[in-house]
Chain A
Amino acid sequence: MSKRARALFLGLLSPAILSLFAGGASAEDAGWNLNMPRGVTEVSQAAYDIHMIMIWVCTVIGVLVFGFMFYIMFAHRKSRGVTAANFHENLTVEILWTIVPALILIVMAVPATTALLKVYDTENPDIDIKVTGYQWKWQYEYIGEGVKFMSELRTSQDEQYGRAPKGEHYLREVTQPLVIPANKKVRFLITGNDVIHSWWVPDFAVKRDAIPGLFTAAWAKTDQTGVYVGACTELCGKDHSRMPVVVEVKEEAEYDAWLAGKKEEAVIYQSTIGKEWTNDELMAKGEAVYAVSCAGCHQSAGQGIPGVFPALVGSSIVTGPVEGHIGILINGVAGSAMQSFADQLSEVDIAAVIHYKRNSWGNDMGDMVQPVDVLNYKQNQ
């Protein structure tokens, strides 16, 4: 009997409600996981504790009620020759089983309220990070630090469609994780760019909707370094399941070094904008950007999905003037899934991907698009 078959057998046999208690495991565990992770923050542990209290209360009530029911089904069956009684009310027990559950609920409301107060304790953070949901990726901005980047799924289409073996971190890996320091109160200010998303990290018990035009707040503080994986939990379109949240908690010194590195990258990047890029450089960069930021909708060969996402092959924008093509990436198309990439992609990325689109899949414009063109377009707007 294989391990999986044996586990399946046991899983089906064990009374499910009792097997819930096997839990407390981390979300990292694979396989036959039964319970919620206890997590690494005060809030997640409070959520876990109230969850366990509720399970125990329900189990006790369930055992009593169902136990009584099974006794009745055994003892009061007609085949045992019993005759039915005829009573149909009893004011005392009816009042009792209204009052007693109400009292239990009042008692349970106390820890439930305490736990909720912790969830809402978002004041006085050490660090503020703005989290923006896009179809279908996250943007993280370290407020006041000038550091901002996109975090996108790294799992390849080949893995998703069975053309390549699935890696260990299938659908749980991103281009750049969010990095936060340990032992600091980090506040997340969460919003959406297009539709509603929801930013969830189970080990922090942080789940707040990312709503376009509004901000929601949540917080986390943990002393345990490591990588924590979460997910988008509000249906946001076709790649809802393909925008994981990955958070890396580092020691404070490491975090500071990482943040300094990020700032330096931004400085170095500035010098590349003015540079004259060659066709090969643009095509190589553009292909990489296209795969991550465009192929989700416009598909890997620019063919689009009829009636949903337009094709880029032979498109009037892609084969029209460069200005118009840059404009649509910078501004997006209001009221459609075509978002503005001005804040998501760098000038170099935008120039490269435009150049790539204009010179791929039979599109043969032959013109060159340089980062400086994109910069000029932005500045003239």
Chain B
Amino acid sequence: MAHGPSENFFSRWLFSTNHKDIGTLYLWFSFAMFLLGGAFAMVIRAELFQPGMQLIKPEFFNQMTTMHGLVMVFGAIMPAFVGLANWMIPMMIGAPDMALPRMNNLSFWILPFAFAILVSTLFMEGGGPNFGWTFYAPLSTTYAPDTVNYFIFGVHIMGASSIMGSINIIATVMNMRAPGMTYMKMPLFVWTWVITAFLLVAVMPVLAGAVTMMLMDINFGTSFFDAAGGGDPVLFQHVFWFFGHPEVYIIILPAFGVVSQIIPTFSRKPLFGYSSMVYATASIAFLSFIVWAHHMFTVGMPIAGELYFMYATMLIAVPTGVKVFNWVTTMYKGALTFETPMLFSIAFVILFTFGGFTGMMLSIAAADTQYHDTYFVVAHFHYVMVAGAVFSGTAAVYYWLPKWCGRMYDETMGKLQFWIAFIAFNITFMPQHFLGLAGMPRRYSDYGLQFADWNMVSSIGAFMYGGAQLLFLYNVIRTIGWGKPIDDPQVWEGAEGLEWTLPTPAPFHTFSTPPIVK
């Protein structure tokens, strides 16, 4: 009764309701967006290689910083983890597929249109969005180019896609777990994704509300964000960050999940503190809703508000610390090997923790007066977004790719990519801490001569890091096409979980009969 994918290329990929095919679509789409967003970053770093305007005009520079942020957050990182969720959640909980396969197809296929709309603005009169990925009003309303309406429409579509994807994940996990797979037996990747999905369902409508209010202000004469009409520009920031802060956890929580799968495998030892991991994830998710205004320490809040947001933000260090201690203790007294996924995961723990340290520094409001909107912040969030989310996504691909395609990647090439990426990442972003502390604000198309040296170092690192991604692409294509075939269901010696009981490569339909979990 089991049948394979459609023979016809178009009907297979356009009409697919199969969780693996849709997962594959998500992953390739996100990689394409990753390269596009990366290309924007290369333009930024090339212009900042030296002081003075050499390559592009300041207005185009602002479009590049904006599009880099939007494409990376909404086009690269989020869809990458949705792709991983599509592939892995049914395999990990013993389900045949996702609960809502047709909606799954829709939630993917509206994404390319959203990004086509967004990116097309770069070629329109007035240029693309130039107001930063945080699009603060009134720069993004009264003072925005006309193309801002395309941006708003694009964001609406992305939001709809994310909400549908999240509902699908919640429905799958709640209804389709194999017999005996209780909540507290679910792999941590599934747990982090369920919590992420709830965050998405809660905050994507808030983002939609923010852009809709912008739309009204721009086109229909309302004044939500215009003080002259009785509105308030600061209201925009409150609404945006009520979405924006949970958003950063939406990005990082699935990454936590991936690392919590990989570290036990290569330590050959069960995850330490499973239940505290679950509780810590849930606590982080809860705290993410009540700390948003720490992005706004310089808007002139009353001191009571500022103190509250400072204390609440500092609290996040506690559950995050629990996670880091658990990962380290998982490795303690294990039998460690250092394959590519493990290398990326260990780098994740170290560099994400480093980003966490700078995060704690940023939470101190008096010191944040100095850090706010400087390169120190840029460095901080690239440590958690790139060395956090991107490293973890890369680790996930190397970890599960053999299972997906039944072919092993080349370990030497994988390690080569890791070391280039690790070194280049630090050359790129470590100096940005120094630039920020020395006084260089973010989103600057040009800078004074005192910042020239570290900017040059940072640009050199960025070009290296960009090159490492091409190596990643090469490694993946080479594995799928010409990798050494394997058929061991286990793939990795220490791997545990239902996905490793399936044949390698994973069959088109996952569990036609549910496995029994003891």
Given contacts A84-B333, A202-B370, contact A94 B322 (CB under 8 A): yes
Give A194's nearest chain B residue, CB to CB: B143
A209 at the interface (CB under 8 A from B): yes
Say whether B333 contacts A76, CB under 8 Å. Answer: yes
In angstroms, Cα B322 to Cα A109, docked, is: 20
Say whether A62 contacts B310, CB under 8 Å. Answer: no
Residues of B within 8 A of A118 (CB): 366
Say whether B318 contacts A102, CB under 8 Å. Answer: yes
Question: How far, in Å, is B424 (CB) from chain A's closest CB?
Answer: 12
A27 at the interface (CB under 8 A from B): yes
In angstroms, Cα B144 to Cα A336, docked, is: 9
Say whether B145 contacts A172, CB under 8 Å. Answer: no
A113 at the interface (CB under 8 A from B): yes
B365 at the interface (CB under 8 A from A): yes
Residues of B within 8 A of A242 (CB): 58, 446
Name which of A43-51, A140-148, A322-330, A372-380 contacts chain B: A43-51
Say whether B314 contacts A109, CB under 8 Å. Answer: yes
In angstroms, Cα B311 to Cα A112, docked, is: 9
In angstroms, Cα B347 to Cα A73, docked, is: 12
Give B131's nearest chain A residue, CB to CB: A235
Chain A, interface SS category: mixed
Given contacts A88-B271, A112-B364, A119-B369, contact A73 B336 (CB under 8 A): yes
Given contacts A46-B366, A214-B300, contact A162 B54 (CB under 8 A): yes
Give A242's nearest chain B residue, CB to CB: B446
Say whether B443 contacts A235, CB under 8 Å. Answer: yes
In angstroms, Cα B273 to Cα A97, docked, is: 12
Say whether B303 contacts A235, CB under 8 Å. Answer: no
Question: How far, in Å, is B225 (CB) from chain A's closest CB?
Answer: 10
Residues of A within 8 A of B439 (CB): 27, 37, 202, 230-231
Interface size on B, residues (CB 8 A): 105
A166 at the interface (CB under 8 A from B): yes
Name which of A63-71, A123-131, A262-270, A312-320 contacts chain B: A63-71
CB 8 Å contact bits of B41-85 with A (1 = contact, 0 = none): 000000000011110011100100000000000000000000000
Residues of A within 8 A of B331 (CB): 69, 72-73, 76
Given contacts A76-B331, A89-B274, A207-B372, contact A196 B138 (CB under 8 A): yes
Say whether B234 contacts A79, CB under 8 Å. Answer: no
Residues of A within 8 A of B106 (CB): none
B184 at the interface (CB under 8 A from A): no
Residues of B within 8 A of A292 (CB): none
B270 at the interface (CB under 8 A from A): yes
Say whether B450 contacts A94, CB under 8 Å. Answer: no
In angstroms, Cα B447 to Cα A171, docked, is: 7
B317 at the interface (CB under 8 A from A): yes
Question: How far, in Å, is A215 (CB) from chain B's closest CB?
Answer: 8
In angstroms, Cα B436 to Cα A35, docked, is: 9
Kindly identify which residue among A79, A207, A238 contacts B58, using a CB–CB cutoff of 8 Å: A238
Given contacts A58-B360, A170-B448, A235-B131, contact A72 B367 (CB under 8 A): no
CB 8 Å contact bits of A231-249 with B (1 = contact, 0 = none): 1111111111110000000
Kindly identify which residue among A23, A62, A72, A213 contacts B354, using a CB–CB cutoff of 8 Å: A62
Interface positions, chain B 386-408, Cβ under 8 Å from A, are none
In angstroms, Cα B457 to Cα A4, docked, is: 11
A366 at the interface (CB under 8 A from B): no
Question: How far, in Å, is B417 (CB) from chain A's closest CB?
Answer: 20
Say whether B269 contacts A233, CB under 8 Å. Answer: no
B361 at the interface (CB under 8 A from A): yes
Name which of B15-23, B122-130, B148-156 contacts chain A: B122-130
Say whether B448 contacts A33, CB under 8 Å. Answer: no
In angstroms, Cα B139 to Cα A211, docked, is: 11
Residues of B within 8 A of A307 (CB): 124-127, 145-146
A284 at the interface (CB under 8 A from B): no
B382 at the interface (CB under 8 A from A): no
Interface positions, chain B 468-518, Cβ under 8 Å from A, are 494
Given contacts A27-B439, A117-B303, A212-B233, contact A84 B268 (CB under 8 A): yes
Say whether A88 contacts B272, CB under 8 Å. Answer: yes
Residues of A within 8 A of B335 (CB): 76-78, 82-84
Say whether B441 contacts A47, CB under 8 Å. Answer: no
Give B367's nearest chain A residue, CB to CB: A51
A227 at the interface (CB under 8 A from B): no
Given contacts A166-B52, A238-B59, contact A89 B360 (CB under 8 A): no
In angstroms, Cα B438 to Cα A202, docked, is: 9
- Can you list 21 residue pairs at the A/B interface with Cβ under 8 Å? A4-B453, A35-B437, A76-B334, A77-B338, A87-B272, A88-B270, A89-B274, A98-B318, A115-B364, A120-B303, A166-B449, A196-B138, A196-B139, A198-B373, A205-B366, A212-B227, A213-B233, A235-B443, A307-B124, A308-B126, A308-B127
Extra contacts, 18 of them, besides A112-B314, A213-B227, A238-B59 (Cβ < 8 A), are A32-B434, A69-B346, A88-B270, A88-B271, A102-B315, A105-B317, A113-B310, A194-B142, A207-B370, A211-B234, A212-B228, A234-B136, A237-B130, A241-B444, A242-B446, A306-B125, A307-B127, A307-B146
